Structure 1
């Protein structure tokens, strides 16, 4: 085959100033030569022509035509162009870049042989590698180069390539857009497909740390072989099938593809040949459940292989694209194209023959078994996979690049007098213009193109713009629709930097229009939290139920969170419910029961008091100090009634009165019992002849005991109220589902001092009564007092541990029960025998009878 370095693929149009273009329409594969062999140029074959990339040359040609027909931009100056092919090959790119400089087909380095070809700037290339190869030559001569490669060829472009400009946004915006798109759809378990070369390595080194930082895991990274390696694989389909099978894993449904032409070509071959090898099911097998997220290099430029390949594999794919707007007259320009109008354009002839599968009669290639090109074929009949009539992203960049050069030249012609040597009566003297003089005007360029978009460069020579997000919808007839479904534009106002229109997206038919999932495992439901699996990537986790008191109200929460203090988790731990108030209410059964008991015992006590008052002159009432008996009954009546202070919602007043009233009244009750017991003992001791104890028997001693014991308790309560009194309190934490409305004791020490003193009195009273239990029965209350105090002490001894082990209204209920039980015990044990004699055995309630029984 003919050496491709000598193939006559070029296109030239005269002009006062020339724009050089290094395009990539063809790709060749150079046979690898072993290190031990003599170097040679041995090309395997012309693998493919990329039909769609020819539109980039047409957009450049249309922009030049548009400018030359506009008398305002460059009056009296015409733009021309010189186009060479790079063949996606470094050596060819260097060689043809030098041809642009010399102006001749033969190379004469550092000489400008054709004075008519006044090169002012260059456009190219499409890939980062080709751009760098061109820039290596042009930057030495400070010739402006406007590329449309998506990613910069070097890290610090401004420093290393000061003459280099890019008609595309910052590559950083593309990486951020990919990450934000994945996060938007909650795709955190993805695969990456990249080329097996330095560019692919740079892609993953930049993207993967950004993914990890946002919690996105890489399930698999698949390397697409270099073109030369891919051609070697064609001899055996097994490697392609093996790679195809790895892509068919159902565990990974979303792939981010570094969609360079080389990568996409190999991926397409892999899917296609895997389908051929395994039958029709092979293609569908790989496409099932896959969402392809493509970088901005992709535009369905899959070579002529598309004629056999089912593009529906890529149905629903999402890609980032250089922002484009419709150039209204461009479709009309394409409509009138034909072989007669494109005389001298070698690219057009190759393009025409390729897309229409025909051959011109004077073609340099001897193509048999194909029709002859008539020139009447219509571009409108071509599917979009081969050629589009609206500008693609890279064509739009080429169009803007030509206009940027023209606008820079226009600014020179209207600039200040310091460029007088270049201007004559408002007309640019182009022969005197040097390419390096264009730089300050290009850097500061800012204009609106014919589509209404602003074109300007940032400080690094990159276009100030963002990326569009495109949804590719394919059809069985190999046509497709390019739908804009969002954008990534950091230059816009806050809140609109990243936008996706979900309703406009069409997913692959396999998903039935449901949002595809990209997860290592199923999401954790609300009520559960994530827990990392040992030895697995951080996106893989187990789902653990929330602990007590915590909830998770969304899927896939990293941790459960505590409900507010006044709320508690529901049964499923998915939401917080308001806590109810916990206090002993008058309206609930337990409260009503205690009210009934308290009133009933109060009524009984009042009846007993009435009976004793009515029978106050009888011996059984007069025995053991009648006044003490009345005091005891009145105190017991108040004890029963004070239990009502513990029922109902605690307020400041009843919190003050609860424990104070209880402590003082019960102290009076126990003091009365103690006084009665001591009176009984002294009364019997006073009956002995010659005793001096008789002077102690009387009301003065009993009143002193009653008053003294009561005042001590009252003093303790006074100190309590003055230092740290009880107060209403909301206990949020003791009960899981309720707020305890309680009276905080203020000082726990003082509370237990009150109980301790009461216990001390009860112990003394019990001891004295126990010692006097064997006195004669008729006048002896000691036996009944002993039994009553035994009941009293038993109740209050069991009260303390029970009180401490309960919470809320049940703790209050324990205290009310203890008050009622101990008071009822005293009432029953001391007064029921006397009431029995008074009411039922009244014949015994006479002095003679009592003396006779005592004898």
Structure 2
């Protein structure tokens, strides 16, 4: 046969206070004229010794009426029939008891069993509680951890229904809040010490500063005793209600700064006097009170003293005793016991009493069944001492918690201080409030930091580390063209097309706009050469005009020379249209003006070359060719060649003209304002026509370069065309490969270089003779053979 179940271990005076609160409440009800008037409630109190086997034994004993003593006096009408159960304090014993009482429809109201699993009415249809479910506490703890920015925590729990279910609810809520758990360890008070030591060592070695402990006070006391044996790094403890509000636990000073949620403090009028009103006879009549008395005063009642204690002599004064039993400064769970008793009493009242006029009549001889009390218990809704009592469909009350903090007093002791509250009935986001400063680990005033990886600043993004939780990551700068403007961004967002990130890559700024401007050095230099070239052409024309009657001017086809100088002036000036911000008119003007003026220029050169070449052909005997190259024919030649270019430009402008464009592809970090060609065919047709005329002119000039003339203009035209062709041949690859505004600069350079080549090669030698060698500006000299 197995040995009888026996209690062992230390006496828990806080639990004794809970049982005395039940007696106090029952005596209040029995003396009440409003609740169950004329009916006396009886009770039995059993010690489960925090043991599931003992609790189950008591449950069967109560449910089957196997009590050793029945009160059979005439005042007891239903002796031995249990109408309701108050208890148990633990979730695991409560689960076992509920499975027993559920078969008998006996209602069970717990004051301290908080496991969320007990809200399942399919498994526990008879279970109620006056303390909120751990589901609410788990959600509140997760929001608390998130509120202070802790994303890297450790977790320990009791290896029981209370700890396992509570921690499972917390971890699920924490995961939704983005909180990572470095470790999660379970232990129980009956585990070998090696197991407790291993859990303590995990806490010591961990990198998480914050430790969430979802454990019963008995289990937590053993763990903290183990941690106190060897100093460990500072840890910020976050506690569940079971241990964080237990005054006995406040002796662990290294946990100063611990925070957690507790049941609201309460005041039960007259309760302290009731606790202290213990007569010697009452103590001697109760084995539990006897054990409490002997444990508190270290003496023996009516026994022979031993070496550790003396016989109690009656001078012991409970008023001077400092014990959790006498501590009524923070009644929390005690009030839950008080409310549980009143809830069952109200259910019985509703089953046996009815109101008549202004009085309440109760039939004490009515034999009610426990299932009737169970039905009425679901409907109770009352207020006692200002505390509302009701149950939802799961048998749970409204979840209201106090946020408590372990703070050191001036005397150096640890005190439990209320610093805020949590009300689950409030709208989302308003449930949690802090209204007082908190003290943190080691008495600090700054919120401790507990993260796996420091926050990624704006301008970076999080990249998870392989094989580690999501809270462990590396901070990688945003890719080029992307930003993140928030801390701990998981992704970077690209800037819009016309914006670019700053150096910190946390803000998008408008891209700088780039074009060849008059305000920059390159633009100023090119504009200066352009204006200078135009002035040079005008000066040259003035010199020719001033000496238009001289042989050298007359011999070089003055009409075409002046037209050539005019076209060169336009060529120099058209390069100015390439400088400045592009607009619709400037884009159309710059290419067409350039194309037409250059064709006009080359047409003049071509006309001069043909005149020179034909002039020598006309000197042959019987030649009458010059009549086809007179002034009219020369003008018609220039007009004809120029008209073709005008026609090409007109078709280009009508079908697909150039237009201003924001180039966003050449440079990612800036915008290039440029003129799109519109039709590339039109652009290359204009250039190709110019090149064709230039090559034709060059060929003719080469043919005429050795003609017997002292001042051979064909030779000068050959050099000018050679320069012109060289410039534009090199222009094509330079134009294609040059980026941004330098494309425009290359085009301007080509225009200026070819224009200067023409004016210097054709007109510079003539101007030199006109101005500095006037003795050579004679018909005789021009006709001589030794020029």
What TM-score range do you get, normalising by the shorter chain? 0.7 to 0.9
| Mapping 1:490-639, distance limit 5 Å | 490-499=424-433, 504-509=437-442, 512-639=444-571
- Confirm or deny: 8 A CA contact 2:141 2:260 kept in the other structure: no
When residues 314 and 637 of structure 1 are mapped into structure 2, their CA distance, relative to the original with a 3 A threshold, is same
- Confirm or deny: 8 A CA contact 1:523 1:556 kept in the other structure: yes
SS at match of 1:297: helix
CA RMSD, aligned part only? Answer: 3.8
Q: In the alignment, what sits opposite 1:244?
A: 200
Q: Deviations over 1:52-95 (max 9, x none)?
A: 33443354455556656665555555555432221122222123
Shift of 1:436: 1.8
- Confirm or deny: 8 A CA contact 1:357 1:371 kept in the other structure: no
Mapped pair 1:378 → 2:319: yes
- Confirm or deny: 8 A CA contact 2:403 2:421 kept in the other structure: yes
| Mapping 1:645-660, distance limit 5 Å | 645-660=577-592
Shift of 1:462: 1.9
- Structure 1 alignment gaps of length 5 or more: 1-37, 276-281
- Confirm or deny: 8 A CA contact 2:116 2:165 kept in the other structure: no
When residues 830 and 364 of structure 1 are mapped into structure 2, their CA distance, relative to the original with a 3 A threshold, is farther
| Mapping 1:687-702, distance limit 5 Å | 687-691=619-623, 693-702=625-634
Q: In the alignment, what sits opposite 1:435?
A: 370
SS at match of 1:49: coil
The count of aligned residue pairs is: 778
When residues 242 and 413 of structure 1 are mapped into structure 2, their CA distance, relative to the original with a 3 A threshold, is closer
Q: Deviations over 1:126-145 (max 9, x none)?
A: 22211112211221121222
Q: Give the TM-score, by structure 1 length.
A: 0.81
The 1-side partners of 2:42 and 2:236 are apart by 44
Q: In the alignment, what sits opposite 1:29?
A: none
The 1-side partners of 2:326 and 2:691 are apart by 102
Q: In the alignment, what sits opposite 2:67?
A: 105
The 2-side partners of 1:591 and 1:385 are apart by 94
Shift of 1:553: 4.4
When residues 676 and 390 of structure 1 are mapped into structure 2, their CA distance, relative to the original with a 3 A threshold, is same
The 1-side partners of 2:223 and 2:360 are apart by 55
Shift of 1:507: 0.7
Q: In the alignment, what sits opposite 2:749?
A: 817
| Mapping 1:173-192, distance limit 5 Å | 173-192=136-155
Q: Deviations over 1:141-181 (max 9, x none)?
A: 21222224554474771212222223343433333333333
The 2-side partners of 1:668 and 1:107 are apart by 132
Q: In the alignment, what sits opposite 1:337?
A: 275
Q: In the alignment, what sits opposite 1:259?
A: 215
SS at match of 1:134: helix
Shift of 1:415: 7.7
Q: In the alignment, what sits opposite 1:193?
A: 156
Q: In the alignment, what sits opposite 2:135?
A: 172
Q: In the alignment, what sits opposite 1:31?
A: none
Q: In the alignment, what sits opposite 1:472?
A: 406
When residues 385 and 156 of structure 1 are mapped into structure 2, their CA distance, relative to the original with a 3 A threshold, is closer
- Confirm or deny: 8 A CA contact 1:59 1:391 kept in the other structure: no
When residues 744 and 345 of structure 1 are mapped into structure 2, their CA distance, relative to the original with a 3 A threshold, is farther
The 2-side partners of 1:94 and 1:334 are apart by 32
SS at match of 1:40: coil
Q: Give the TM-score, by structure 2 length.
A: 0.87
| Mapping 1:636-715, distance limit 5 Å | 636-691=568-623, 693-715=625-647
Q: In the alignment, what sits opposite 2:390?
A: 456
Mapped pair 1:295 → 2:268: no
Match of 1:745 among 664, 670, 677: 677
Match of 1:361 among 301, 318, 334: 301
Q: In the alignment, what sits opposite 1:758?
A: 690
- Confirm or deny: 8 A CA contact 1:195 1:262 kept in the other structure: no
SS at match of 1:390: coil
- Structure 2 alignment gaps of length 5 or more: 71-75
- Confirm or deny: 8 A CA contact 1:194 1:222 kept in the other structure: yes
Match of 1:320 among 251, 261, 278: 261
SS at match of 1:47: coil
SS at match of 1:298: helix
The 1-side partners of 2:370 and 2:136 are apart by 30
Shift of 1:264: 0.9
Q: Deviations over 1:30-73 (max 9, x none)?
A: xxxxxxxx633475x73222333344335445555665666555
